[in-house]
Amino acid sequence: MVKLIVAVVQDKDAQRLVEGLVDKGFRSTKLASTGGFLREGNTTILIGTEDHQVSTVLNVVRKTCHSREQLVTPLAPVSGPSDSYVPYPVEVQVGGATVFVLQVERFEKI
């Protein structure tokens, strides 16, 4: 059975992830994407693999994609008076990975 693994990672972790996958013999496709919460660049990595190799791919993701603290300045409120809004940086946790493992009905390499 073939699986498609979709991993959304922070740009800072993307290159290490792709290199880690290549070291283990996996091919991947890297897509630029944008996160909704911080509106920063993310990378979406697509990996096709056999069912029995999913845990190996997930281990590579765990080893290369790390959470970290980052200071961000909140956006101004959309409604209400913005002249009294004073943005203060807040520390948020970013990074890591969001991973989806999907069943693939058919796979062809052309």
Kindly list the domain boundaries of the chain, sorted by start residue: 2-72+89-104
CA atoms within 13 A on the CB side of 104: 18
pLDDT at 102 over 60: yes
CATH architecture of 2-72+89-104: 2-Layer Sandwich (3.30)
pLDDT at 103 over 70: yes
83 or 1: whose pLDDT is higher? 1
* Cα-based distances in Å from 34 to 6, 54, 110: 15, 25, 29
pLDDT of residue 38: 56
Q: What is the pLDDT of residues 27-41, one digit of tens each?
A: 999 999 876 655 667
Q: Average per-residue pLDDT in the chain?
A: 84
CB 48 within 8 A of CB 3: yes
108 is written with which tokens? 């062809």
pLDDT of residue 73: 66
pLDDT of residue 12: 87
pLDDT of residue 42: 87
